Structure 1
Amino acid sequence: MNTLVNFRDLGGYKTPSGVVKKGKFFRSGELVSLSEKAKDALVNTYQIRYIFDFRQLDEVEKRPDDILPNSKHIHLDIMKNFEHSTSLKSFKENDIDPDSMMIEVYKSIIRSKTSQQAYKEFLETIIEDDSAILFHCFAGKDRTGIGAAFILKLLGVSDEDIYTDYLLTNQMRKEANEVYLNVYRQKGASEEKIKAMETMLYVKSEYLASAIAVIENEYGGFDNYIENEIGLSTACVEKMKERFII
């Protein structure tokens, strides 16, 4: 799977009532120019039946996902019409502090009605059909990271393990990130600029913490947020636990 960056299974984490099933929830970066071996693994080894693409429309148009047989592709633009963007292009054009920008992006995702509706459709689909799913954005770290955190939190995984999964991105994107940064070094980018770009390519616990703080402080906690803003009933959450915890 070396042509698919940041790919991993969310299964195996402990919950109060068991363990999250393996082979059901997969996260990754974009599915672009995959090797035939990688495609075969996704279809036949992992038996992916749903692919959720969280990227913005212009990202999808410029770099469309590869088509996988026997898989349904669903585009859910988590950041539709956003003022902020996680893209390196946006960062380079606006020349702003990358940490501050990422924190604002995370907060905006939590508050956005468009984002909430997209995550609702995502969660409702996986609750109603227990087929294996793969969800991704460009790098599989921010929009995807929040989606993964929602799944794990709904299933009762500890905050410690949710952060562990979230921060795995820094290990799993390291090689791809270094290739990207070296291209800009060769183009003559300053080390200051490289350092700022590096920040954009990795994740920090503070980013996810900023999203969680908005949920706690502005929406009365995760359960209230899921029921009142995302729109998932308690019955849906219980059904999800019954299906995906063993």
Structure 2
Amino acid sequence: MLTVPGAFNVRDLGGILGRDNRKIINHKLIRAGYLSDINETGNQNLLNYGVKTIIDLRSPDEVTTYPDKISSEFNYLKVPIFPDDVTASTSTLDEINTRYARDSEYGYERMLQSYRRMVIDPHAICGYRAFFQAILDHRADGGILFHCSAGKDRTGICSYLLLAVLGVNPQRNLQDYLDSNPASKDRINSRMQEAKSKQLGQCFVTSIHDLAVVSLDYIEQPLSLINYEFGGMTAFIKDEIGLSDSDINAICDAFLK
């Protein structure tokens, strides 16, 4: 966990064991939630930490409505995974209420559907290709930070794919994904308190909770599709995303020691 005023769920992937018992180098790969509220101190903290490139995974509307407040010293790249916010990360509670205050399963079902889209939507596949191309293009520049809105779903899947490319054990990879819950506890608690204050019933509160967290149920959706529809993670990375052996070796050489 990194302390970055105005940001949350900011985590260095450094230290995780990857291919050939090599560890991910610290200060090189950082994942995070939105940077729309980051202040001058937060920007300086990231610069001091060695971050040089920021990859924004959000949709065009999210970027326009909640632009990153980042220093011009960063390389800033827009790499939308989806053309819209499929996980409702930026939806207000009132917007959510108009659709599913009476359905306790809405939030959960929406997340399952969104995670399936992560591997079958052509926009997502194009987004992953662009994400890895950005990683390759800027691997020698310094630290790379990538983020979406909550830093848990689109960022979570990109992180999972990146860690898979780096040869991280699947169980350790899952743990990094699940670590978004404790890393985002303040934001989750804030969403829950606001939801309860609306006094719209337990169905509403349950859906807000399911939209705010990560879950093994969620990530099992894309992982099952990858295994049973695409022939496994290696085949998905090479055949669908389009990474070559030389691309994978370059990423490993750049971020493992």
TM range (shorter): over 0.9
Native 8 Å contact 1:7 1:28 kept in 2: yes
Distance in 2, Cα, partners of 1:120 & 1:183:
37
Q: 1:2, CA displacement in angstroms?
A: 4.2
Deviation for aligned residue 1:196: 1.6
Q: Which amino acid aligns with 1:86?
A: A
Could you tell me the percent identity over the aligned residues? 27
Aligned residues: 244
* C-alpha distance in 2 between matches for 1:34 and 1:195: 29
For the pair 1:183 / 2:194, whether they are aligned, the reply is yes
Does 2:66 correspond to 1:63? yes
Shift in CA distance, 92/73, structure 1 to aligned 2, threshold 3 Å:
farther
Matched residue SS, 1:120: helix
Partner of 2:128: 119
Gap regions ≥5 residues in structure 1: none
Deviation sequence 1:103-142 (CA, Å, 0-9, x none)? 1111111112211111111112212332211111110000
| TM-score of the pair, normalised by structure 2 | 0.89
Q: Does 1:94 align with 2:94?
A: no
Alignment of 1:230-241 (within 5 A): 230-241=241-252
**Which residue of structure 1 lines up, in the alignment, with residue 138 of structure 2?**
129
**Greater mean deviation of Cα atoms: 118-127 or 145-154:** 118-127
**RMSD value over aligned CA atoms?**
1.7
Q: Name the SS for the 2:199 alignment partner.
A: coil
- 186, 198, 213: which one pairs with 1:202? 213
Matched to 1:129, the amino acid is H
- The CA deviation string for residues 13-48 of structure 1, in whole angstroms up to 9 with x for no partner, is 1124111111111111100121322111011x2221
Contact 2:58 2:148 in 1 (8 A): yes
Conserved? CA contact 1:91–1:98, under 8 Å: no
Cα gap change, 1:2/1:172 in structure 2, threshold over 3 Å: closer, same or farther?
farther
Counterpart of 1:227 in structure 2 is 238
Tell me the equivalent position of 2:176. Answer: 165
Deviations 1:153-195 (A, max 9, x none): 1000001111111111110111112122222322323233112
Shift of 1:81: 5.5
Query: 2:28 maps to which residue?
Result: 24
What amino acid sits opposite 2:99 in the alignment? N
Partner AA of 1:226 in structure 2: I
- Give the one of 40, 47, 52 matched to 2:44: 40
Mapped partners of 2:234, 2:187: distance in 1: 36
CA contact (8 A) 1:86 1:105 kept: no
CA distance in 2, matches of 1:105, 1:237: 27
1:145 to 113, 138, 156: 156
- Tell me the TM-score normalized by structure 1: 0.93
